[in-house]
Amino acid sequence: MADAHADADADANSSAITIFIQDRKTSKRRNLIVKVKNTENIEKLTKNVEKLTQIPSDELEVVFCGKKLAKSTIMRDLSLTPATQIMLLRSPNGAKQVNDVKNGINLATDSSSILGSFYMWCKKCDKVKRGKLRVYCQKCTSTAVLVKAEPQNWTDVLKSKRIPVTCENCQSEGVFAEFKFKCLKCNDLGAALTHIRGNWQLAECCICDAKEPIVMDLGCNHITCLACFKKYLLSTLETFAFINHPPYGFTLGCPFPGCNRVVQDVHHFHLMGHSEYDEYQRKATEKLILINDEGVTCPNVKCGQSFFWAPYDDDGRSQCPDCFYSFCRKCTERECICHRQDDLTKSTIEATTRKCPKCSVSTERNGGCAHIHCTSCGMDWCFKCVAEWKEECQWDHWFH
Amino acid sequence: MSNIALNRLQRECKEVVTNSEISETGIMIEILNENLTEIKGHIRGPPDTPYAGGMFDLDIKIPEQYPFSPPNVKFCTKIWHPNVSSQTGVICLDILKDQWAASLTLRTVLLSIQALMCTPEPKDPQDAVVAKQYMDKPAVFKATAEFWTVKFAKGHLDVNKEYQTRVDKLKDMGVREEEAISVLSCNNWDINRATVYIFS
């Protein structure tokens, strides 16, 4: 494998690819390794195969990424790597294949469906990269598949069992396509970033006015450049102002005023960087645990693991599954101080704070009116009543 | 301050300054320091409101996180308005708090404050006393807001003589004019209640 890579690097214009021939006339299969040049087209490939196999080139159909290719397609447009496999189908009765674009797709004019303007998060390159879409059989993971319907949108590609295929490898009935994204540069698999797109109209970033070639768009056409979106994410992370938005989890909204679109896939948060992404995940877990009655966070300063306590921990104590620190869930101390009177921290917190009536988080009021908006659970409550904020509170509890 | 913030602010300042907006829309900004962290805003009192004819100054402080956090804006000219503290000038406006969005600008902020001056929102008050007066005694509210505009925002309307007499009475008792106006306004211009409030 490593050698193959080296070869490809040495001669950037040509590469060896694996060809899988499904001969439906003789019901035979065979594999070939063929050297192709980037500038050659599919017709030339079938001619080369004819030389090696004596199968007439006009009886061969070339299938790649689940689709038949037009004979005029240039190899370069396929962004092949030594690991790529291309399938050639020979028609059952030896009929001539119609050699025109109508029956296949020409990547020069219809590149969006395979090469696409996809962007993905490549872990290996550690950045947003252009990606290529690849199609596999969901059952046998072979690439020898032909899609029965074109994917129409992101859902078709991201959700399973949407696009039916015929698989020439396992030839099973009722199988579906599995789509994967690979980095155009390093060929590693990665997560598709559906909100990132090319800035075709060269529109301005709604934050800094820059006209960048790649932008974020949450589906509302309010575009933000990646640099601004990164800043936006980092400033949201600072106060953990992400909102819990099932089914997407803790996420954030479009930076355009009044727009209520949200980031639907947290993979986009990789833009922040490694440690920040980890911090996001840790805090999101913590928050999720906090808003759940059976959730608890380990008070051991060296741990901080969040977990759900088991129902049999009904004596009010729990043990952290990670560091085995055992503590009282109420006062979070190893030696329970719930009934002690002389604990200064506890008495100070009790004296200076009131608990949110919804999530019980201790809340200090350091100024302003009695209207409290809980940053933990989002509840609006009255600091005087310690209950939901009402119109009477608006009038009567103003200065309390 | 980050580069995004600085570039943004330079553009925003240009946007407001070069448009010579004060003549068209009645808003203007003035840059107080080179790194653009402190800016002065000016809003001309909108016509057909008790603030008409006045010129209101605002302190704008740009936080480190700008434009991802809202600018800190408050009135430095005293104003009688349900959504502005009559004591501190702090403004209760959703876009300056949780509804802030990074694509909003100083211009949109000032225009929103100007719109708030035209249509107060007494259901979400910053100053409950003012809000109560606005709801219960609209005529007194209007006269008080006009009086404040004349006294503090260089409004050119004639000063309400009756109100001025009461202010002068308190002044004769040794009360500062600003405090006298404030206490009288809070007590619907009832001089007895105002006196009790001050001297008890």
Beta carbons within 10 angstroms of residue A170's beta carbon: 14
Asked whether the beta carbons of A252 and A243 are under 8 A apart, the reply is yes
Alpha carbon distance A77, A92 (integer Å): 29
**Both B100 and B183 in a single domain?**
no
Indicate the pairing of strand A14-23 with strand A85-90.
parallel
**B119 touches A: beta carbon within 8 Å:** no
**Both B154 and B182 in a single domain?**
yes
Amino acid at B46: P
Position A278 scores a pLDDT of 93
In the block, which residue shows the tokens 């503290």? Answer: B85
Give the pair of three-digit tokens for residue A85. 């496999």
Domain boundary (B118, B141, B162) is at: B118
Backbone φ and ψ of B7, nearest 5°? -60, -45
**Both B191 and B153 in a single domain?**
yes
For A209, B2, B72, B148, the CA distances from B29, given in Å and listed in that order, are: 21, 21, 14, 23
Over residues A32-50, mean pLDDT? 86
**Both B22 and B43 in a single domain?**
yes
**Both B151 and B99 in a single domain?**
no
pLDDT cut 70: percent of chain A above it: 87
**Both B56 and B148 in a single domain?**
no
Alpha carbon distance A234, A240 (integer Å): 9
Most A-contacting residue of B103, B134, B186 (CB-CB within 10 A), to test interface: B103
Query: Which residue range is the domain that position B62 belongs to?
Result: 3-118
Label residue A54 exposed, middle or buried (CB < 10 Å: 0-12, 13-18, 19+): exposed
Alpha carbon distance A164, A176 (integer Å): 4
Of A65-69, A288-292, A296-300, the range with the lowest mean pLDDT is A288-292
Alpha-carbon distance B43 to nearest alpha carbon in chain A (angstroms): 22
Whether the pLDDT of residue A105 is over 60: the answer is: no
Position B151 scores a pLDDT of 92
Alpha carbon distance B14, A343 (integer Å): 57
For A175, A240, A271, B59, the CA distances from A363, given in Å and listed in that order, are: 55, 16, 32, 29
Alpha-carbon distance B79 to nearest alpha carbon in chain A (angstroms): 18
**Both B54 and B149 in a single domain?**
no
User: Residue B110 is part of a domain; what is its CATH number?
Assistant: 3.10.110.10
Average pLDDT, rounded, for chain A:
81
Asked whether the beta carbons of A67 and A103 are under 8 A apart, the reply is no
Position A97 scores a pLDDT of 56
For A188, A226, B172, B191, B200, the CA distances from B185, given in Å and listed in that order, are: 71, 52, 18, 10, 18
Position A78 scores a pLDDT of 79
Q: Does residue A228 carry a catalytic annotation?
A: no
User: Is B123 inside a domain boundary?
Assistant: no
Alpha carbon distance B52, B42 (integer Å): 14
Chain A residue nearest residue B63, CA to CA: A235
pLDDT tier at A266 (50, 70, 90 boundaries)? very high
Alpha carbon distance A85, A140 (integer Å): 15
User: Shortest CB distance from B103 goes to which of A238, A257, A391?
Assistant: A257
pLDDT cut 90: percent of chain A above it: 15
For A209, A236, A238, A272, A374, the CA distances from A279, given in Å and listed in that order, are: 30, 12, 10, 10, 22
Amino acid at A138: Q
**B135 touches A: beta carbon within 8 Å:** no
Asked whether the beta carbons of B112 and B93 are under 8 A apart, the reply is yes
**Both B32 and B82 in a single domain?**
yes
Position A3 scores a pLDDT of 43
User: Is B100 inside a domain boundary?
Assistant: yes
Interface predicted TM-score (ipTM): 0.71
Contacts of A398 in chain B (CB under 8 A): 125, 128
User: Is B114 inside a domain boundary?
Assistant: yes
- According to DSSP, the residues that pair with A272 across neighbouring strands are none
DSSP state, B54? -
**Both B169 and B73 in a single domain?**
no
- Pick the closest to residue A360 from A285, A283, A282, A292 (CA basis): A292
Q: Which is more confident, A397 or A317?
A: A317
The total number of structural domains that make up chain B: 2
User: Shortest CB distance from B69 goes to which of A222, A235, A257?
Assistant: A235
Domain boundary (B91, B118, B145) is at: B118
User: Is B71 inside a domain boundary?
Assistant: yes
User: Is B137 inside a domain boundary?
Assistant: yes
pLDDT tier at A391 (50, 70, 90 boundaries)? confident
Position B14 scores a pLDDT of 75
Alpha-carbon distance A244 to nearest alpha carbon in chain B (angstroms): 16
Position A340 scores a pLDDT of 73
User: Shortest CB distance from A256 goes to which of B67, B103, B132?
Assistant: B103
Chain B residue nearest residue A209, CA to CA: B8
User: Is B25 inside a domain boundary?
Assistant: yes
Indicate the pairing of strand B38-44 with strand B55-61.
antiparallel
Chain A residue nearest residue B131, CA to CA: A395
**Both B51 and B98 in a single domain?**
yes
pLDDT cut 90: percent of chain B above it: 56
Domain boundary (B92, B118, B144) is at: B118
Torsional sign, CA B104, B110, B114, B116: positive
Alpha-carbon distance B102 to nearest alpha carbon in chain A (angstroms): 5
Over residues B149-156, mean pLDDT? 87
Q: Answer yes or no: do B103 and A394 touch at CB < 8 A.
A: no
Name the packing angle between helices B191-199 and B161-172 (round to 10°). 30
**Both B177 and B152 in a single domain?**
yes
Alpha carbon distance A70, A29 (integer Å): 22
Helical segments of A42-182, H only: 42-53, 154-158
User: Is B136 inside a domain boundary?
Assistant: yes
User: Shortest CB distance from B4 goes to which of A207, A236, A398?
Assistant: A207
pLDDT tier at A8 (50, 70, 90 boundaries)? very low
**Both B10 and B103 in a single domain?**
yes
pLDDT in tens, A136-147: 898 888 888 888
Contacts of A256 in chain B (CB under 8 A): 101, 103
pLDDT tier at A157 (50, 70, 90 boundaries)? confident
For A29, A68, A90, A129, A387, the CA distances from A24, given in Å and listed in that order, are: 9, 16, 5, 39, 74
